Amino acid sequence: MTMKNIYIALGANEGDRAANIIQALMLLEEDSDINVCLVSQMIETEPVGGPKDQNAYLNAVARLQSSLDAGVLLERLQAIEARLGRVRTEKWGPRPIDLDILLVEDEIIDTPDLQVPHPLMHQRFFVLAPLLEIAPDVRHPVLKKSVAELFNLLVGK
């Protein structure tokens, strides 16, 4: 099986946010089918969307390598979210951990359960800033722009 470079976003705004992100990374690393290669620094951002009066988020991005099918990887990410206490009750609501697949090589996936590249990643500072740190030259397979170009468009440079 071919190993693929996969970028995921990690976010948390409940509990010990940094510990939740670190625990999620440790659980990913414990999975024999996933290798955590590189992790950005954590940044703090205000919530986007969802209910008012949420706590600020800590966000990071990680580069994984895996031969798993993206749908199987999504199931594993959701199992880690559940293990760390995430209960899906409200869209964009507060959560102890959120794990989103951003990119899987140059694949384009559009199923009811998974869209890759992540459909909103190019509009979100909390995704692009940490992604810029670890993968500035990676190209968005739909928009045909690098992460650095997408970041500059977002912040108006």
Q: Among the options 100, 110, 113, 137, which is catalytic?
A: 100
53 is catalytic: no
Q: Among the options 31, 95, 137, 139, which is catalytic?
A: 95
**HEC per residue, the chain:** CCCEEEEEEEEECCCCHHHHHHHHHHHHHHCCCEEEEEECCCEEECCCCCCCCCCCEEEEEEEEEECCCHHHHHHHHHHHHHHCCCCCCCCCCCCCCEEEEEEECCCCEECCCCEECCCCHHHCHHHHHHHHHHCCCCECCCCCCEHHHHHHHHHCC
16 is catalytic: no
17 is catalytic: no
Q: Among the options 69, 86, 106, 124, which is catalytic?
A: 86
Q: Among the options 98, 106, 113, 124, which is catalytic?
A: 98
86 is catalytic: yes
Residues assigned a catalytic role: 86, 95, 98, 100
